[in-house]
Amino acid sequence: MSKKIDIQERNQQFLKEPGVEDYRRIHDDNLVQLRKKKRNEHLAKRRAFGTDRATQAEDSPEMVSDAIRFDISSVPEELAKYERQLVNPDLSPTNRLNTLISLIISSTSMDLLKLSVRTLRLVLTYDETNPCKYIGDSGISAKLIQCVLYPDKDLQYEAVWCITNLSSGEDKVVDELLRLNVIEALSKVFNENPSSDIANQAVWALGNIAGGSQEQRDKVVNCGIGEWIIKQISTSQRMTGTSLNTMVWTLANLLRGKTLQQASLFQEFLSISLKLLCLDNEDILSDTLWGFAYAMDGEVGRIQPVLNTGLGMRIVQLVGSESYKIKLPALRVIGNILLGDELQTQTIIDYGVIDQLVPLVNSQNKLLKKDAAWCISNICSGSVSQAEAILAHAGIASIVALLRDPDFSIKLEACYIFVNSTNRANSNLIINLLQYELIEELCQLIDHQDSRIVILSLQTIWNILKHSKAYMIFHNENTDRALPRLDEVGGISKIESLQGHRNYDIYQKATEVIKEFLGGEEVSQNAYQQGNFEF
C-alpha cells in the first residue's frame, strides 16, 4: 500500500468532515503541514556571537532605545579622538549610538570608518537589547554595503559582520538590505575571497537572509551560494570548525521549499551528505539532517535518491544519538522516508528503525515522543508484515500507553497506529493486545470531544471484535475474548449512546459496531473476508 501525499485532495476535503476511509490520506497530508510548522523550531536565523534573536521577545524600537547600553567605556580611545561627543558623559547611550551612526554615514576616512564600523559591530553583537531593528531603521544599511565593496579587507570584515547581525532582525530591515542589493555585494565577497573569514561571514549573512521567507530564500539561492558552498566542502580536505558549521547551516536554510533551483541544489547536496554525516560534530550532523528534513518535506520523489546513496542506515543510527539536536532532525527525516511506498519503508525497517523508535515513545520530551509516534503510525499504514512488526515488538505496551497521553497530537497518532495495525495484522497479534488493556484505553476515547479520535477508536474496536470472533471460531472456543472486556468497562453502553450523536460519521460507525457485534446476529461472512485471519 502506498502512502502518498495529495495536497489538492486535502484542500477539496477541507470544508466537509471526512469518513474513516479518508483519514489515513488526510492524516498524511496534515503531517506535511505539521512538519512545515514544526520545522520552524529549528532556528532560521542566528545573530553572530550574540544572543539568538529567535529566542527573544520582540521589543518596540522605543523599548530598545531606552535600554541600549552603549556607554563611554564602549568607545575606543582612538575613535574618541575623532569624535569627542562620543565620550560626552551627559550623552545618553541612545544619543551616543546615534552619534556613532551619523559618524559612519558621513565619514570618508578609511581609518575612521574601520574604527567606527568595528565599534558598531560590537554594539550589534554584544548589546543584550539586540538593537538590530533600531540600527537597521537608522539609514546606515547603504553605507555598510558600500563598506563591503571597499578594497580594505578589515573594513569589509567588520561591515559584513554588521550586516550579518542586521539580517538576523526583522523583515523590514532585511527588505531594506535587499533593496540595496546586499546579496550582490555579499556574492562579490565570497567569490573574491573564498578561503577567508570574510567569506565565512558573508555566507552567514546570506544564511540569515535565506531563513527569513521563501521569497528571500529564492533570491539567495539564485546568487549561486549553494553551489559555491558545495564546491568548497567537496574540494576541501581540511575544512572544519566554524567555517564548515556556517556553510552547512546555510545550506539547510537554502533547502527549505520546492523551487526548481532548490531541486537542483538538493541533488548536489546528496553528493556531499555522506561526508558530512560521517563527521563527529554535533552542529554539522544536526544541520545536515535538518537539510534533509526540509528538502524531503512533502517530496516523496526524493525518498529513493536518498536511499540510493546508502544514507538510510546512517540516519537510522543517528536516531539513536544521545544528542537531542541530532535525534530530532533524524526522526524528521525517517518520518518523511516512511511516507514512501512499502519497499522504501521496508528498507528503513531492515536497518533496525523500529528498535530505535519504540523506546522514544517513553521519552519525556514531547517532540521526540510525537515524532516517534508519527513514524510508527506510518509504518503501520504499510504492508501487513510491517504493521505486524510493530504489534509483535516487545515494547508494544508502551505504544498502547500513548492512547492515554495528555498531548492531543500524540493521542491522535496512537489512534492511527492501532486503527491501521488492527486492520492489517493477524488475529493472534490482535488478541495478544488485549493483555495490555487496549480495549480499556479505547473505551476511554469513544466519548472524546474530537470526532476524529472517536471515529478512529470505534473503527479500532470494530477491527478487534472482528478478529476476536474469527479467533473464537477458528479455535472452537465458547467465549469471545474481546466482547466481555468491552462490556466490563462500560464500552457497550457508551457505543449504544453514540447512536444519538449529532455527528453522522460517529453515529454510523457506532451503529455498524452494534449491528455487527452487539445485536445478537451472527457475524457475516463478508466481515471475515476483510481481515487477515492467520493463526
**Span 269-279, average pLDDT:** 93
pLDDT class of 293 with cuts at 50, 70, 90: very high
User: For residue 502, what pLDDT is reported?
Assistant: 93
Per-residue pLDDT tens over the stretch 136-170? 888 999 999 999 999 999 999 999 999 999 998 88
Per-residue pLDDT tens over the stretch 487-515? 999 999 999 999 989 999 999 999 999 99
Within 13 Å, how many C-alpha atoms sit on residue 172's CB side? 9
Cα dihedral 130/132/134/139 (nearest 10): 160
39 or 424: which leads in pLDDT = 424
User: For residue 52, what pLDDT is reported?
Assistant: 35
**Span 324-330, average pLDDT:** 97
CA nearest 492: which of 518, 511, 515? Answer: 518
**Span 316-326, average pLDDT:** 97
User: For residue 525, what pLDDT is reported?
Assistant: 39
The three grid cell numbers given for residue 514, joined into one nine-digit string: 452494534
User: For residue 70, what pLDDT is reported?
Assistant: 84
Number of CB atoms found within 10 A of residue 384's CB: 16
Cα 256 from Cα 334, distance rounded (Å): 17
Cα 534 from Cα 425, distance rounded (Å): 9
**Span 235-262, average pLDDT:** 81
In 335-438, the DSSP E strands lie at: none
User: For residue 54, what pLDDT is reported?
Assistant: 35
Per-residue pLDDT tens over the stretch 101-110? 999 999 999 9
Q: What angle do CA 55, 59, 63 make, to 5 degrees?
A: 140
Query: Does residue 371 register a pLDDT over 70?
Result: yes
Query: Does residue 261 register a pLDDT over 60?
Result: yes
SS in 3 state form for 37-68? HHHHHCCCCCCCCCCCHHHCCCCCHHHHHHHC
Query: Does residue 180 register a pLDDT over 70?
Result: yes
Query: Does residue 341 register a pLDDT over 50?
Result: yes
The position carrying cell 532560521 is 44
Cα 8 from Cα 19, distance rounded (Å): 18
454 or 137: which leads in pLDDT = 454
**Span 248-259, average pLDDT:** 86
Angle between helices 384-391 and 366-380 (to 10 degrees): 140
Identify which of 209-223, 324-338, 519-533 has the greatest average pLDDT.
324-338
Query: Does residue 440 register a pLDDT over 60?
Result: yes
Q: Is 135 left (phi over 0), alpha (psi -120 to 50) or beta?
A: alpha
pLDDT class of 50 with cuts at 50, 70, 90: very low
Query: Does residue 413 register a pLDDT over 90?
Result: yes
User: For residue 1, what pLDDT is reported?
Assistant: 40
Q: Are 64 and 134 in contact (CB under 8 A)?
A: yes
- Percent of the chain exceeding pLDDT 70 equals 83
Query: Does residue 6 register a pLDDT over 80?
Result: no
Confidence (pTM)? 0.83
Question: Residue 404: what residue type?
Answer: R
Residue 12: C-alpha distances to residues 3, 288, 500, 519 (Å):
18, 35, 28, 37
Out of 60-64, 415-419, 426-430, which region has the weakest mean confidence (pLDDT)?
Answer: 60-64
For the chain, what is the mean pLDDT? 84
**Span 108-135, average pLDDT:** 87
User: For residue 260, what pLDDT is reported?
Assistant: 57
531 or 496: which leads in pLDDT = 496
